[in-house]
Amino acid sequence: MDISQITQNIVNLLLQVALAAVVFIIGWVIAKIISKLIGKLLHWLKIDERLGKATSGSRPIKLERPLEMVVYYLLLLVALVAALQVLGLTLITQPLNALLESIFSWIPRLLAGVVVAVVAWVVATIVRGIVRRLLETFSFDKKLGDSSGITSKSNDWPLSRALSEIAYWLIWLVFLPIIFAALGLEILVAPVMSLVGDMLSWIPNLVVAGLI
């Protein structure tokens, strides 16, 4: 092999590395732009604020930033695979391609699970509001206080609110097997459905006990 061929091979290698770097940089820029757009969309939808209102916890769940970062690193991985393919490193790109295929094949299931979860949240929120308004309309807390001696001043968490929260989480529990099925987690569907059936069967007994 003469010096000219060695020089040509080095030049070709450098060009290949430069092209791979350009591909990775372009992918990185695209990942930054798309992830930022996703983050702004989630913020516009007020995902964190809505989760905070739904959970009513002292430590509200934050999803906007984590979801933005998931999108960023997923697209960055795609850019890395593309750059490695330019370098001809098939031994590395083959398992990474298999990983990306499995991830992207699961995305439709994830979207379906998200849609079902959103429907569950809407239904649960509506049911919670209806239960609480009905109990407030019939002055449930006042009648309970008159019969038990519990006043609103001594009861920071009225029973009407507690019952409405129970109704809210029961709706979530009913939707949970559907969410698992949409995500493809069939192994969890049967146990959760059994749990839901058991809990729903307890409700008449609880009502009877409350009336007594």
Q: Which residues, other chains included, contact 16 with Cβ-Cβ below 8 Å and sequence gap of 6+? A: 86, 87, 88
Q: Cα(49)–Cα(201) distance, rounded to whole angstroms?
A: 34
pLDDT of residue 154: 47
In sign, the C-alpha dihedral spanning 93, 95, 99, 102 is positive
Query: Is there a contact between 47 and 64 (Cβ–Cβ < 8 Å)?
Result: yes
pLDDT of residue 139: 67
Residue with tokens 């309970």: 144
pLDDT of residue 44: 84
The length of the chain is 212
pLDDT of residue 87: 83
Instruction: List, in sequence order, every beta strand (DSSP E) within 26-144.
Output: none
Decide: pTM greater than 0.75.
no
* C-alpha of 110 from chain center: 8
Query: In the numeric block, which tokens belong to residue 176?
Result: 């949970």
Produce one character per residue of 75-95: b if its CB has 16 or more CB atoms within 10 Å, e if not: bbbbbbbebbbbbeeeeebee
DSSP track, 110-177: HHHHHHHHHHHHHHHHHHHHHHHHHHHHTTHHHHHHHHH---TTT-SS-HHHHHHHHHHHHHHHHHHH
The whole-number mean pLDDT for each consecutive block of 10 residues of the chain, a chain of 212 residues, reads 71 82 92 91 78 60 81 90 85 83 83 86 86 75 56 56 81 85 80 74 58 48
Give the N- to C-terminal CA distance of the chain in Å, as an integer: 98
Q: Cα(82)–Cα(89) distance, rounded to whole angstroms?
A: 10
